[in-house]
Amino acid sequence: MNEANQAVLNYLTNTYRIQDVSIEGVEQAIDTIFNFNMLTPLQKQLFNIIILQALDIEYISEQLTSYMMEEELKRIEAQKEDYYDNQ
């Protein structure tokens, strides 16, 4: 993983608190973060070229999916422990 992927992954997880971790969700989050809709058509084209060369969106999506699954498993385990502690 390159530094840019790691930085985006950390930002999406810790600051942006991304919910939709699909490839489309990651792309939409990046567009939102960088105000993609405010760019001119030429700027959008340049932005897309830079992002596609700098980031592996599919990899970021896969890592976010794994992270969300791990967090969900931790939550379920904590609920189980609480349930058995209260029995």
* pLDDT the model gives residue 82: 85
Mean per-residue pLDDT for 11-33?
A: 96
pTM: 0.80
Residue 30 CA neighbour count, 13 Å, CB half: 26
Mean of the per-residue pLDDT values of the chain: 94
Asked whether 13 and 64 are in contact (CB, 8 A), the reply is yes
The per-residue pLDDT for 85 is 84
Closest among 45, 43, 16, 46 to 32, alpha carbons compared: 16
* Residues above pLDDT 70, as percent of the chain: 99
d(CA 14, CA 8): 10
Task: Name every residue whose Cβ is closer than 8 Å to that of residue 54 and which is 6 or more positions away in sequence.
Answer: 2, 4
- pLDDT number for residue 84: 83
